[in-house]
Structure 1
Amino acid sequence: MNRPIRAVSIFCMLLFLALMVNVTYLQFWHAKDLNEDPHNARVAEAAFSRERGAIIAGEGRDQVTLARSRDSDDHYKYLRVYPKPKMYANVTGFLTLGSQTGIERSENSVLSGEDDSLFVTRLVDLAQNQSSKGGNVLLTIDPKAQEAAYDALLSTVGPDGEGSVVAIEPKTGRILAMVSLPSYDPNLLASHDIPEAQKEFKRLDDDDSEPLVNRAIQTRLFPGSTFKIVTAAAAIENGLYNADDMVPAGATWQTPGTTGSNNVIDNEGRVGCNPEEIPFATAMAQSCNTAFAKMAVELGPEKLRETAEKFGFNSDYLQDLSPQAQSVYPTGTEDSDGNEVELNDAQTAQTGFGQFDVQATPLQMAMVVAALGNRGTLMRPYLVQEIQSPEYETLDTTDPEELRTAVSPSTADQVTELMVDTVEDGTAYPAAIPGVTVAGKTGTAQRGVPGKPPYGWFASFAPAEDAQVAVAVMIQEAPGKEIAGGQLGGPIAKAVMEAILDE
């Protein structure tokens, strides 16, 4: 064989080998990823050509359908329908020909019928020459709590407002409510009129208020004074103070190592904080910044960070809905040479009341109070209660999972006592429920932007002695209203707690 023919033969053989390797990779190694890719047009069309499973919440007569498929008279056969669109949009997400979000995405294999747990169902359908149906997903959401959270938040911030509410069952980690405003109508995105659906998506995506963002898990802001719960827990857990001790306070405090009025911490006119020493209960009930700033410096950033991380900061924890933003207690700052250095006293003081670089999502703050309501034990939060067959038979159930001990039972009890005082005699009084002992804490966090209103927060749980529900409220924008965590967030938290406790 002459040289040119040999070269062409070798080249053809190499092309053939490359083709075989590529086909093998696509069909065996990469097939699962391609099938699960929401941008795969063939997969997307198949999803609209079979009866997709339902997303449901609640039990018995209180059960509601959040997403289902109905017959369609066009070539896609089925149309995805969301009966309570705006109330649940941030949880269900949406299904379109080009993408999936929320539970529609995270539980796609079940809803589409392709999950391994539905293998027997698919075999039966094949034997009976029937098209396979998707399985159903039962969520942990309590419809009454969700409705209470949505209605209360909407009436507080208005149609142009921004905020979120999260409620958790402390003993299990079940998410009972998850609301994000502004919301949107997923029915308009699931439409088979593709140009109109794309137009609607672009409108929502370009909206400065970000309605497609699930603020419960994707928006992190300064938690402000609600973070004082963590600081108090760290101080008690590390033996610095007990709940019945006197703590240092003062009308103002120049942060260590600084000069100038910009570095002076004050209490925004709360005169109960003025004495140099005050009861710990007063510091919490009156939300004294100087007390918690000094407490943070006494603890040091390492111990405060350690406690924050035990509550969930600097980590991921929600496994059945994504993406989520990590809540942050800062690990340090960069010096002039780009090296990471520990927080200094002035920075640590600011973190003691939820400022500087401390950032939290509403879910994170709900986890903090849920752990305290569970006497210090932090449970993993979850949204999916059951995986069901198309006939609503239970195939798999999520079991509660203990993440870690955030603080000791003794510490949790003492912080709870401080939070009860804050509801009964302090700034958190708007969450008080007659006949129920409520533990709560307000938060009004400065944005760090001149002329911009603060963020409003509220975190609580009830009953304090045997917590059934823990709630976090975050108010980002409330046009036309003065934002204050207690006045705006307290009644919202109260409405959600009452919805659960009245059942």
Structure 2
Amino acid sequence: MNAPLRRAGVVILVLFALLFANLNWVQAYKADDYRTSDYNRRVVVAQYERPRGIIEAGGTGVATNRSTDDALKYLRVYPRKEVYAPVLGYRPVGLGATGIEHSENDFLSGESDKLFADRVKDMFTGNNTGGGNVLLTINSKAQETAWKELVNNERGVDKGAAIAIDPRTGAVQAMVSMPSFDPNTLVTHDEKAAAAAYGKLNKDPDQPLLNRTTAETLPPGSTFKVIVSAAALQNGYTTESEIEAGREYRESGAVIRNSEDEVCPGGQIDLKEALTESCNTGYARLGVTLGRDKVLAAAKNFGFQDDQLTVGNLEGGGLPVAASDTGKITNPDGTVDKGALAQSSIGQRDVRMTPLQGAMIAAAVANGGKQQRPYLVQKLLTPDLRTIYTANPKTLRTPVNEQVASDLKDMMVSVVQNGTGRRARISGMEVGGKTGTAENAAGADPHGWFIGFAFDDKGEAVSAVCVMLENVPGGHASAEAARIAGLIMKAAAGRGGD
């Protein structure tokens, strides 16, 4: 054989070897990715041969099925429409799924390894068993209250979020984002209509598809003072320690003033009263005195900068959570920018927070310093209703010790009893919290925040909440957030009818 033929033969052998390797790569290593892809139409259509598992909240199906006469045997139905949409997401025919419908897709569709025994049984019986069922942690009364109060708020705000969690476990009791959307329009079997509905929602400047509780970060305003308080208490201060205050504080070009002239006008104020009155000048000075590293460390201990958190199943997967951020607080040469530190210490400048993070801060205080990992999936049930997974609460981190948590709790209770958070009060329950009014853009109305917790008459921490309202007109932006938060916690405690 001459040299050119030998070279051609070698090239052909190499090409066959590469083709064989690629075939094995696709079949052995990538097969599962292709099989479970949201865009693999053959697999998606095949999933409609059997009923998808039900998603329940409070004993009621919030994602169910309806039989059809078309080629796809079952239509996904969301009875409560906008109310649960940020939690559930949607599972359309020709688009990618979102929310719990996405993170628990394998189980809901019946393809999970957890349902292997059911699939084997079907081989012998000839049945086409449906997918597994997912039971959420959502408290239906708290969810409905959060939605009702948010969309009918007394200030005419059209964008906001509310989330409540059980401080003892991390179970999410309510998760509402406004504006929301009707997922039924996205799962219709008329794929052109579904695509058109998605296009309209996706282009809406109010971003109804955005889950503001987990995916949006905004300046938290004075709610961040809880973290600065924690930093102080961990570094030698007590609730009675005097800090410098005054009507105005200037630091490296930054000018800090209080919301009103009557707030901490004197030269000194104790730490507890400073939080109760929401003294901007006191906390700006305190942050600079503590120093950047201590403030940033306290924020990180509570969960700021965490970009790995998801909320769904404690064994993995769920709704992604945007990282709350403090900003670097540095000058161009790397030194500490004291002006930025003063502003950051009252939750302004580059500080950004998700509502979920706000609820987790309040929950850690209420839970003696332990911050539980938040979750949405309480149980997984087989089609014949056998429980094969029950959430086992996990401590995510311990940002403060019990003594510091106790001091923070005392300070936050004072905010609700005597200070800016009075509208969050609940008769017969001990409520603590912190309001926040956050400037966000020149000429724009501020955001209103409230983070807080409620204890029942037995001394048990029953709920921790964060309510955020965007661009609140008319002043005192946080008062309405506090009012809504109190009603959500009351419902979560089972006292909605009191």
TM-score (norm: length of structure 1):
0.93
Matched residues in 2 for 1:453 and 1:272: separation? 21
Deviation readout 1:263-321 (Å, 9 max, x if unpaired): 21000224131000012222111111001111111111111111111111100322422
Report matched runs for 1:430-449 at 5 Å. 430-447=423-440, 449=441
Distance 1:455 1:354 in 2: 12
Distance 1:87 1:158 in 2: 20
Describe the shift of the 1:477–1:203 C-alpha distance in structure 2 as closer, same or farther (beyond 3 A).
farther
* Alignment-mate amino acid for residue 394 of structure 1: T
State the distance in 2 between where 1:332 and 1:178 align. 32
Q: Is the 8 A contact 1:328 1:360 kept in 2?
A: yes
Pair 214,157 (structure 1): closer, same or farther in 2 beyond 3 Å: farther
State the Cα deviation string for residues 14-36 of structure 1 (Å, max 9, x = none): 22222211111111111121122
| Equivalent in 362, 386, 399 of residue 406 of structure 1 | 399
Task: Give distance in 1, aligned partners of 2:75 and 2:407.
Answer: 53
Q: Distance in 2 between matches of 1:333 and 1:419?
A: 30
* CA contact 1:443–1:457 (8 Å) conserved in 2: yes
1:474 paired with 2:468, answer yes
Structure 1 position 467, deviation (Å) = 1.3
Q: 1:367: which partner in 2?
A: 360
Asked if 1:426 corresponds to 2:422, the answer is: no
Trace 1:244-323 onto structure 2 (pairs within 5 A): 244-255=240-251, 257-258=252-253, 263-315=254-306, 316-320=308-312, 321-323=318-320
Give the corresponding residue for 1:346: 339
2:174 is paired with a residue of what secondary structure? strand
Question: Does residue 450 in structure 1 map to residue 450 in structure 2?
Answer: no
Whole-angstrom distance in 2 between the partners of 1:8 and 1:351: 69
Matched with 2:17 is 17
Check 1:117–1:334 CA distance in 2 against 1; reply closer, same or farther (3 A cut): farther
Q: For residues 182-221 of structure 1, what are the structure 2 equivalents within 5 Å?
A: 182-221=179-218
Measure, in 2, the Cα distance between the counterparts of 1:270 and 1:436.
32
Q: Is the 8 A contact 1:159 1:182 kept in 2?
A: no
Alignment-mate amino acid for residue 254 of structure 1: R
Write the distance in 2 (CA, Å) between the matches of 1:306 and 1:270.
Answer: 32
Question: What's the secondary structure of 2:76's corresponding residue?
Answer: strand
Deviations along 1:331-369, one digit per CA (max 9) or x if unpaired, are: 354626xxxx25321111111110111110000000000
- SS in structure 2 at match of 1:80: strand
Tell me which residue corresponds to 2:84.
88
> Following the alignment from structure 2 to structure 1, what is the Cα–Cα distance between the partners of residues 61 and 321?
25
Cα shift at 1:180 = 0.4
Deviation at 1:244, TM superposition (A): 2.0
Which 10-residue stretch deviates more, 213-222 or 379-388?
A: 379-388
Alignment of 1:132-151 (within 5 A): 132-151=129-148
CA distance in 2, matches of 1:160, 1:200: 24
Distance 1:375 1:387 in 2: 30
What amino acid maps onto 2:150 in structure 1? L
Q: Which residue of 2 aligns with 1:166?
A: 163
Asked if the contact 1:160–1:182 (Cα under 8 Å) also holds between the matched residues in 2, the reply is: no
The answer to whether the aligner puts 1:499 opposite 2:484 as a matched pair is no
* Partner amino acid, structure 2, of 1:27: Q
Q: What is the Cα deviation at residue 190 of structure 1?
A: 0.1
Counterpart residue number, 1:37: 37
SS of residue paired to 1:461: strand
Quote how far apart the aligned CAs of 1:174 are. 0.5
* 1:126 to 1:199, Cα distance in 2 relative to 1, 3 A: same
2:223 alignment counterpart:
226
Q: Deviations over 1:114-158 (max 9, x none)?
A: 111111111111111122421111111111110011101010178
1:416 aligns with 2:409: yes
Instruction: Name the aligned partner's letter for residue 496 of structure 1.
Output: I
Q: Give the residue type in structure 1 aligned to 2:77.
A: V
Distance in 1 between the 2:155 and 2:241 partners? 42
Using the aligned pairs only, state the percent identity.
Answer: 39
Q: Hey, what's the Cα distance between the residues in 1 that align with 2:43 and 2:332?
A: 50
| Local SS of the residue matching 1:43 | helix
Deviations 1:412-467 (A, max 9, x none): 111111111111111100011122111011100000x2111111101110118531
Q: Does the Cα contact within 8 Å between 1:247 and 1:277 map onto a contact in 2?
A: yes
> How far did residue 71 of structure 1 move?
1.3
C-alpha deviation, 1:4, in angstroms: 4.4
State the match for 2:315 in structure 1. none
Structure 2's unaligned 5+ residue stretches are 313-317
Shift of 1:8: 3.7
2:470 is paired with a residue of what secondary structure?
Answer: strand
CA shift, 1:110, in A, is 0.6
Structure 1 residues 33 and 270: alpha-carbon distance in aligned structure 2, compared to 1, 3 A threshold:
farther
In structure 1, what is the Cα distance between the partners aligned to 2:70 and 2:166? 43
Distance 1:245 1:252 in 2: 20
Q: Aligned partners of 2:158 and 2:262: how far apart in 1?
A: 32
2:451 matched residue in structure 1: 459
Distance 2:287 2:488 in 1: 32
Does the residue aligned with 1:170 lie in a helix, a strand or coil?
coil
For the 8 Å contact 1:317–1:381, the answer to whether it is kept is: no
Give the 3-state SS of the residue equivalent to 1:271 in structure 2. coil
Aligned in 2, Cα 1:160/1:378: closer, same or farther, shift over 3 Å?
closer
> What is the rounded CA distance, in whole Å, between the counterparts of 1:158 and 1:194 in structure 2?
39
**AA at the equivalent of 1:247:** I
Give distance in 2, aligned partners of 1:468 and 1:429.
Answer: 19
Could you tell me how far 1:66 is from its partner in structure 2?
A: 1.2
Distance 1:193 1:334 in 2: 56
